[in-house]
């Protein structure tokens, strides 16, 4: 088996960390006395909002691009996304001399299309349905020979995302818990694997909007459930789990905590006002979960992964 078709091992994650190190930011871990007193815990914030393209997604994309380049001798990558993964893959490809083809719904905001174009990728518009996206992607792959990089249902991606948790576990000694948001599950899967292999094996909790609680339902029922048309201010977390992430989460995550839209907004505002850093709503979901579950985390050393900082300043919830 190669790294691309097995659940990442300890060695895979260490190799990924070394592989991507020249390309990614080693993001800072911040603390806040104010948020400690509000939460009753000692919090450590891993700031992937400061990562390149403004999100942890650049870690996984870089790991995938480097492996694809080495192993498959292909010259291009492709994906369908209008979010952080699209930008991450575009930049990772550009930095490593590969072409990137991004299938994007024709309804995607111009600012997102421009961001991807700015990283030198080719944008292929499609109708705004999942079927159209998948069909268009298939055509692109057939025509260009590009390697498809799924945003989360991909062990190379999961392995890359694991390096954020690896960094905070190495930097902050004796973490009791790590909380990260869950959407498609790439970040939380990587986090759970890193916690399983490294440090003193902190417990890992997934944080999810109540409005999009497919991970909560799937874990409770031990059966992968997908939601349709769910919506949340945490627009990075609208995706449902995949087979690969569901399996890793089921085996390695200690619980899923859901939070309301208002709890997400309140946590986001706390971070903006008190820490003076910009996080996107998806990041705030993890802090909201910790504040909501005070009894569970009181007195503990809790790592929180701020997944990204890409917000539209014209559409703030405050």
- Rule CB under 8 A: which residues touch a copy of itself? 28, 49-50, 54, 269, 272-273, 275-279, 309, 313-314, 316, 318
Distances (CA, A) of 242 to 221, 246, 288: 15, 6, 24
Residue 54 CB, nearest approach to a copy of itself (Å):
6
User: Which is it for the CA torsion 185, 189, 192, 198, positive or negative?
Assistant: negative
* Distance in angstroms (rounded) separating the CA atoms of residues 41 and 38: 8
Give the residue with the Cβ less far from a copy of itself, 130 or 316: 316
Q: Shortest distance, CB of residue 161 to a copy of itself, whole angstroms?
A: 19
Which of 30, 249 has the CB closer to a copy of itself? 30
- Tell me whether strands 42-47 and 29-30 are parallel, antiparallel or unpaired: antiparallel
The C-alpha atoms of residue 215 and residue 227 are separated, in whole angstroms, by 10
Query: What is the rounded distance in angstroms from the CA atom of residue 182 to the CA atom of residue 250?
Result: 13
Write down the least CB distance from residue 308 to a copy of itself, Å: 9
Q: Which residue lies nearer to a copy of itself by CB, 78 or 270?
A: 270
- State in angstroms the smallest separation of the CB of 42 from a copy of itself: 17
Judge contact between 241 and 249, C-beta under 8 A. Answer: yes
Q: Which is nearer to a copy of itself, 98 or 270 (CB)?
A: 270
Nearest distance from residue 274's CB to a copy of itself, in Å? 9
Nearer to a copy of itself, 18 or 111 (CB): 111
Q: How many Å apart are CA 130 and CA 312, to the nearest integer?
A: 24
């Amino acid at each position: 088996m190669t790294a691309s078709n097995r659940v990442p091992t300890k060695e895979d994650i260490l190799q990924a960390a070394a592989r991507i190190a020249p390309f990614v930011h080693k993001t800072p871990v911040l603390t806040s006395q104010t948020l400690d007193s509000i939460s009753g815990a000692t919090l450590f914030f891993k700031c992937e909002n400061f990562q390149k393209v403004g999100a942890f997604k650049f870690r996984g994309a870089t790991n995938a691009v480097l492996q694809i380049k080495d192993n498959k001798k292909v010259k291009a990558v492709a994906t369908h996304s209008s979010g952080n993964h699209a930008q991450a893959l575009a930049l990772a490809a550009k930095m490593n001399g590969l072409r990137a083809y991004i299938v994007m719904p024709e309804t995607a905001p111009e600012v997102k299309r421009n961001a991807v174009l700015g990283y030198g990728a080719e944008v292929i518009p499609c109708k705004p349905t999942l079927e159209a996206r998948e069909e268009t992607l298939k055509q692109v792959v057939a025509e260009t020979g590009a390697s498809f990089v799924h945003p989360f249902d991909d062990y190379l991606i999961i392995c890359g995302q694991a390096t954020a948790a690896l960094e905070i576990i190495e930097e902050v000694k004796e973490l009791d818990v790590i909380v990260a948001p869950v959407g498609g599950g790439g970040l939380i899967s990587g986090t759970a694997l890193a916690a399983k292999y490294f440090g003193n094996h902190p417990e890992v909790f997934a944080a999810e909007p109540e409005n999009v609680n497919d991970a909560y339902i799937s874990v409770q029922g031990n059966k992968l459930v997908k939601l349709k048309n769910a919506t949340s201010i945490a627009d990075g977390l609208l995706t449902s789990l995949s087979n690969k992430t569901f399996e890793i989460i089921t085996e390695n995550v200690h619980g899923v905590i859901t939070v309301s839209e208002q709890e997400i907004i309140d946590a986001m505002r706390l971070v903006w006002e008190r820490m003076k850093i910009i996080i996107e709503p998806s990041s705030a979901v993890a802090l909201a979960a910790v504040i909501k579950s005070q009894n569970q985390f009181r007195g503990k050393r809790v790592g929180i992964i701020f997944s990204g900082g890409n917000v539209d300043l014209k559409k703030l919830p405050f």
